[in-house]
Amino acid sequence: MSRACHDLVVVGAGSAGVAAALSASRSGLRVLLIEAGRGLGGTAVHGGVNCWEPGAGGTGIPFELYRRMRRQVAAVGIYSFGRHLAWQGADEPVAYPGGEQVIDPARCYLDTLQRHGSANLSLAEALVFRRQHWHGVLYEPAACAAAMADLLAQTGRCQVVLGTAVTDVDRVGRRVTAVALAGGLRVRAPLFIDSTADLQLAVACGCQTVLGQEGRAAFGEPDAPTMPNGRLNGASLLYRVTPTDHPAVEPLPPGVPDACWWASDFPVAAVNHYPNGDLGVNMLPTMDGREAFDLGPRPAYEECARRVYAHWHYRQVHFAEYRAYRMLALAPVLGVRESRRLVGRYVLTQHDLMAGLSDQRHVDLVAIADHALDTHGGGTRPGGPGELAAPYGVPFSCLLPREVDNLMVACRGASFTSLAASSCRLARTMMQLGQAAGTAAALALGHRLDPADVPPALLQDRLRAQHVSLEWPMPAALRARLADETG
């Protein structure tokens, strides 16, 4: 059986997929959003990554989600850095085992929109800068998922199908004609967006993809390895702990040793303070990314769960403050930072990141970002984490496969090198890419064009009209809008 009642099919309902479906349906398209899991939000909700790190470009749909979450009590807050192993105080006899992000009522959303600026500072100056300028968003995952569902429902044009996998793709020439769903239904549409974690549609269509790090000869990236390899950014299983009235060291589950068996020592962690007082703990990382990929989702999750219990036991034994908490929950899915990536019509590289907006020559930029080159498990460059001096832009052509004309890819697997992906993989950047893809879909159908033929200036103007910043510093009118958090 085949059904054709949609203008656009979006597969994958993570940050990018939700933004793509929302922007397209708001633009008048009839959208079908398909998700194999049981809820919206992907890693940003179900992977425990309930944190938007500081970064330029978190305008448009991310800000709308933030304002919607603010309507709920204790659902969202802006953080500042608390203790950190890099800036131990003189009154702290033991260094904090990582870093902590603490809700700061004095901060607002505008404070979260810059990370760059410390690249050329001394270590002491950089630490001062980061304390002053690095702020992000912490939120309850259920609040984020509810806000996403509310915004999609308000359009009246987006059908959401959860718990249903795409099992096959029909392609004729350079066009996708339909996707097959579990159960036998085939869904036809003129346009498709792949927002899956593993590039399900792009791979099924025969689009070229890459897995692992490119060698230096591929793009001349100064920090690329000499030879290509299969290394992937580390994976983390996040866990949540909650205050208890009965402080204690919780016993280890049977069969879990109290020594670290997978590394030389227990890893440090980023600790997020939820608005309700719980802590979210993000081991950096829990597992090597390639090991997680090779094991597969279920075995990798099970092994990471064993490591999480050992990690939590270690922290309780060696840091007395954690005995006042008990383990509440493990994130339902593993937080994967990198997998397959598209080789698209343009490949974003380290050169783009280092050039910044002022020296990039692309005419089709649809998102900006400024996060560090950040390959988890250690800094990208000797002596530093790869901080950037300025924001850079992501071209629309990074979302376009070379082999298919009516498919866009909006997710962390878009057309980036491994180094570039280590910077632009974060949730708010993914939402920007999804918003661009959904908007491009509406323009393409409205003008009877393929997405690649949509005039870049037209797409950029439409994004700016949706309060997306493509410049730095951002326009004054947009700053004024972002200062109003009550919408």
Note whether 352 and 316 are same-domain residues: no
Whether 121 maps to a domain, the answer reads no
Q: What is the DSSP string of 419-479?
A: HHHHHHTSHHHHHHHHHHHHHHHHHHHHTT--GGGS-HHHHHHHHHHTT---SSSPPHHHH
- The Cα 112–Cα 339 span in angstroms is 27
Note whether 315 and 407 are same-domain residues: no
End-of-domain residue from the set 297, 312, 330: 330
Whether 178 maps to a domain, the answer reads no
Longest dimension (CA), the chain: 70
The one-character DSSP state at 390 is S
Cα-to-chain-centroid distance, residue 305? 22
Note whether 286 and 362 are same-domain residues: no
Q: Which residues of the chain carry a pLDDT beneath 50? A: 1, 378-385
- The Cα 120–Cα 134 span in angstroms is 16
Q: What is the DSSP string of 302-322?
A: HHHHHHHHHHHHHHHHH-GGG
Q: State the pLDDT at residue 90.
A: 64
Whether 193 maps to a domain, the answer reads no
Whether 61 maps to a domain, the answer reads yes
Whether 290 maps to a domain, the answer reads yes
Dig out the tokens for 43 from the structure: 């890693």
End-of-domain residue from the set 275, 300, 330: 330
Q: State the pLDDT at residue 127.
A: 87
Note whether 56 and 152 are same-domain residues: yes
Note whether 288 and 391 are same-domain residues: no
Whether 202 maps to a domain, the answer reads no
Dig out the tokens for 260 from the structure: 């670290």
- The Cα 151–Cα 168 span in angstroms is 29
Whether 161 maps to a domain, the answer reads no
- DSSP H or E segment with residue 374: none
Question: What global pTM score does this model have?
Answer: 0.96
The one-character DSSP state at 267 is P
Task: Give the pLDDT confidence of 61-96 residue by residue, as tens digits.
Answer: 999 999 999 999 999 999 999 999 887 766 666 789
Note whether 364 and 303 are same-domain residues: no
Note whether 360 and 440 are same-domain residues: yes
Half-sphere exposure of 8 (CA within 13 A, CB side): 37
Note whether 56 and 34 are same-domain residues: yes
Dig out the tokens for 86 from the structure: 């890099």
Which domain does 55 fall in, by range? 2-78+139-156+210-214+339-482
Note whether 6 and 149 are same-domain residues: yes
Dig out the tokens for 340 from the structure: 């397959």
- The Cα 27–Cα 443 span in angstroms is 9
End-of-domain residue from the set 330, 362, 386: 330
Q: State the pLDDT at residue 1.
A: 41
* Cis before 190? omega within 30: no
208-211, long-range: CB < 8 A, 24+ apart: 208/342, 208/343, 208/401, 208/402, 208/403, 209/340, 209/341, 209/342, 209/343, 209/413, 210/340, 210/341, 210/343, 211/293, 211/339, 211/340, 211/341
Q: State the pLDDT at residue 89.
A: 65
- DSSP H or E segment with residue 294: helix 289-295
445-449, long-range: CB < 8 A, 24+ apart: 445/7, 445/8, 445/29, 445/190, 445/191, 446/28
Note whether 325 and 351 are same-domain residues: no
Q: What is the DSSP string of 44-86?
A: HHHTS--EE-S-TT--SHHHHHHHHHHTSTTSEEEEEEEEEGG
Whether 293 maps to a domain, the answer reads yes
> Which residue in this structure is represented by tokens 């007395």?
320
Q: How many domains does the chain have?
A: 2
